Structure formats: structure tokens, C-alpha cells
Amino acid sequence: MIPIRDENPVESPPVVTRALIAVNFAVFVYELLQGPDLSAFVYRWAMIPLRFSLALHEGSEPVSGPALTFLTSMFLHGGWAHLLGNMWYLWVFGDNIEDRLGKARFVVFYLLAGVVASGVEYLFHAGSRAPTLGASGAIAGVLGAYALLFPGTRVLTLMPFFQIVPLPALLVLGFWFVLQFFSGWMSLASSLTGGIAWWAHIAGFAFGLLTVKLFERRRREASHAWVE
């Protein structure tokens, strides 16, 4: 079940969504240019739970360094498929959330969703040496917000056997969330994650669902936002 596009026009150009996509692509290209230094680059800027734990409890380094990775890790990706999958979901759903929240609020919302997602992932795997990276947690926040604000919006969705079917956003995103939740619990039961931060996805979605109303512009403010 892959969303192709939604039938939900926006009132203003999604410049922040486009900028986030551009930054993620630029950072990934920079990763590719690291060559043999890529591992060191990832270790420095990805969120590695054990690194943060050692800094927090044993003073192995200043906490500020690994704490910063809760933010920087959301701009790193582990491969083209990882990057393209994340950016596609941001492209399909991000513009409407940006439109509803406003540019500045959307930036804050997106970054907070990513940080919260990384934080929850850390709580579940505080002793892991595996780098956690990717925009999935932040984008999951966007998906949670979309599910709450536009549940009935039709989303053209690629189904098995290459059928494209219009489905309600709540069904598409609800299916996505159930898959993440089931996979997250299975990863705890088996102690295997398959390299995917399921709990970051779950936490990001829950953050978006529960907090987007706090970031939403008031109707009057929204109606005058572009009359200056």
C-alpha cells in the first residue's frame, strides 16, 4: 500500500517541505562523498544509543555531543531506498501540514517530532551500538498530524497487482501505523530490529497525532497570513 498523491490542494507553496527534501538530498550526497571516512562521519552525527548512555552515565565525553545527534541524525540516511522512501512520504503529506500550521510552526513541529522519535528509540535500545538515522521519525509526525487533520481526504494508493485505488487518508495512514506498531512489538520479542527504528516511527506518529492541534494556526491568523 504505497501512497501516490493526495487530493488535497494547498493555499501556499510548500517551500519548507521542498527545502527539507532538498537538505536531505544534499546531506546524503555529502555522505556519499565521504568515501572511507563515512563510518566516522556516521558515528559522529547519527544517534548511537550506547554513545549517549556512556556520556550520560559514565562521562565518556560531554553529553552535548551525543545529545546533538538526536537532531542531526534525522538528516542522515542509510541508502537511496531509505532516502527516497522517506522523501516520498514527506512530499505527499508534508505540504498540507505545512499549509495548516504555517511555515515557522511546521519547522518546529517537524524537528520536535524527529527529536522525540529519537528519544523514544533511545529509551527502548539504550545499550545498542547500532546507529539510528533517517527522517522517518519526523515524517511519522507529519503522518500522524495528517491522519488527525485530514482523515477523510482521498489518497491515490498503489495496491498489489499495480492497482491504483483512492482510499481515505485515515485508512492508508492507519494501516501504516499498525504495521509499525506490530513490527515494533515483534522486534522487542525477538530482540531483532532488522535495522529499522520501529519505535521512532511509532513515537513520531503519536507525537503528531497528539500535538498537532497545539501548533495549528488560528483560523483568523491563517486567513490573513498571505495578505501582507
pLDDT tens string 8-59: 999 999 999 999 999 999 999 999 999 999 999 999 999 999 999 999 999 8
Per the structure, the count of domains in the chain is: 1
Indicate the average pLDDT of the chain: 89
Q: Report CA 137 to chain centroid distance, whole Å.
A: 3
CATH number at 183 reads: 1.20.1540.10
Band of residue 189 on the pLDDT scale cut at 50, 70, 90? low
Percent of residues, the chain, with pLDDT higher than 90: 73
Mean pLDDT of 204-225: 78
Q: Which domain holds residue 148?
A: 2-224
Half-sphere exposure of 151 (CA within 13 A, CB side): 4
CA gap 119, 71 in Å, rounded: 10
Residues 161-180: tens digit of each pLDDT: 888 999 999 999 998 888 88
Confidence bin at 228 (pLDDT 50/70/90): very low
CA distances from 83 to 49, 78, 88, 95, 150 (A): 22, 7, 9, 18, 25
Give the three-state DSSP class for 4. strand
* 227, pLDDT greater than 50: no
pLDDT at 219: 56
pLDDT at 92 over 80: yes
